[in-house]
Amino acid sequence: MDQRPFGRTGLRVTPICIGTSPLASMPALYGYAVDDARAEATVSAVLDGPVNFLDTSNNYGNGSAERRIGAVIRRRGLPEGFVLATKADADPETGAFDGERVRRSVAESLERLGVDHVPVMYLHDPEYHLTFEEAMAPGGAVEALVALRDEGVVGHLGVAGGPVDLMRRFVGTDVFDAVINHNRWTLVDRSADPLMDDAAAKGIAFVNGAPYGGGMLVKGPDAQPRYAYRETPESIREAVRAMMAACEKHEVPLSAAALQFSLRDPRVTSTIVGVSEPGRVAATLALADIPIPAELWDELDRLAPPSGGWPE
């Protein structure tokens, strides 16, 4: 699999990044459980394959995703050139997300993963815990991340979150080398467009999360009526039904179109796809290779909801 420059960092990553939130086993969110053996087998399948980019977080399953990844790393190590990324999170009990908490979060992640350094560390979901001003304040979360980078504990800094306007403010600081945005650059929600332009102009890696919108763009709106795990306007469901019909006419799975919509945009450095079992790694790579005719892309563009998303 070809690799792309990870912004201005000097790292190179595959256009698909494997996400590990499902490996944390969160049945309340995903509707199914994942045991240790299945999770570790999935991580091994990633390390054995062509993808060189794995994304996780301190708070996935209260640390269970990192522990499961770490169990595999301790047994076999990481391939040369493999890029492991994780995220600093707020305290799960108090909600604190200051500089002290960031240092604790990073230390917890390193211990679970069994490494003394990670190439990429993101500030995760600040919108739930902090204002922009609080995050950037002296003694705050961003200052702590910068110090950890300067100490060599982490390599490059990123910010990961949802609201586009907030992510644009963080990107504008020039502190971050990467940004993850989720559910806002898909077949039916294209509201991340200005953020992607900002990142491209600054040489910042844009990593697109949740290209399937939580499953609707795989299963369809009748099987999965919620987009991004929240209630969805009927106009969105109607648009997805029309897109499904267009894909069926061209004998292309909706999931392939949803994935390749992200992969084909030159502003997208990598696309995060969460997987929950070993076979899904190869299945994802197969979706990326399905030929999609230009006329189908034209039709999908016409069917996209004009408003593109929901209020932040």
Render 64-123 in DSSP notation, one character per residue.
HHHHHHHHHHHHH---TT-EEEEEE---TTT---SHHHHHHHHHHHHHHHT-S-EEEEEE
Buried b (16+ CB within 10 A) or exposed e, 192-208: beebbebbbeeebbbbb
Burial 45-67 (b: 16+ CB within 10 A, else e): bbbebebbbbbbbbbbbebbbbb
Task: Please tell me the predicted confidence (pLDDT) of residue 27.
Answer: 87
Answer whether 228's CB lies under 8 Å from 183's CB: yes
Query: Is residue 303's pLDDT more than 70?
Result: yes
Look at residue 221 and tell me whether its pLDDT is greater than 60: yes
pLDDT of residue 241: 98
Distances, alpha carbon 281 to alpha carbons 54, 59, 118, 271, in Å: 12, 23, 23, 13
pLDDT score recorded for residue 312: 55
Write the DSSP assignment of 201-240 as a string of letters: HHTPEEEEE-TTGGGHHHH-TTT---BTTB---HHHHHHH
Over 90: is that where the pLDDT of 276 sits? yes
Mean pLDDT of the region 154-178: 98
Tell the residue number behind the tokens 């999935």, with chain if given: 42
The confidence score (pLDDT) of residue 311 equals 54
**What is the pLDDT at residue 28?**
83
pLDDT at 196 over 90: yes
For residues 180-188, average pLDDT:
97
d(CA 45, CA 155): 25
Element (H, E) at 247: helix 234-249
On whether the CB atoms of residues 175 and 199 are closer than 8 A, the answer is no
Q: Note the pLDDT of residue 307.
A: 62
Reported as a single tens digit per residue, the pLDDT across 226-265 is 999 889 999 999 999 999 999 999 999 999 999 999 999 9
Question: What CA–CA distance (Å, rounded) separates 216 from 138?
Answer: 42
Share of the chain above pLDDT 90, in %: 94
- The CA-atom distances, in angstroms, between 299 and each of 18, 77, 99, 185, 189 are 29, 45, 48, 17, 16
Q: How far is CA 175 from CA 48, 143, 147, 160, in A?
A: 34, 10, 12, 13
Residue 143 pLDDT exceeds 70: yes
Q: Any residues with CB less than 8 A from the CB of 284 and at least 6 apart, and which?
A: 16, 18, 259, 273, 275
DSSP one-letter code for 22: G
Q: Find the radius of gyration of the CA atoms of the chain.
A: 19
User: How many CA atoms within 13 Å lie on the side-chain side of 13?
Assistant: 27
Chain CA centroid to CA 262, Å = 12
pLDDT at 309 over 60: no
Torsion of CA 182, 80, 288, 272, to 10 degrees: -10
Does the pLDDT value for residue 74 go beyond 60?
Answer: yes
- 26 or 307: whose pLDDT is higher? 26
Assign 30 a pLDDT band (cuts: 50, 70, 90): confident
Please answer whether residues 154 and 118 qualify as being in contact, where contact means their C-beta atoms are separated by less than 8 angstroms: yes
Residue 65's pLDDT is: 98
pLDDT of the residue at 31: 85
Flag whether pLDDT at 212 surpasses 70.
Answer: yes
Query: Which position has the token pair 């593109």?
Result: 308
- Look at residue 227 in the predicted model and tell me its pLDDT: 94
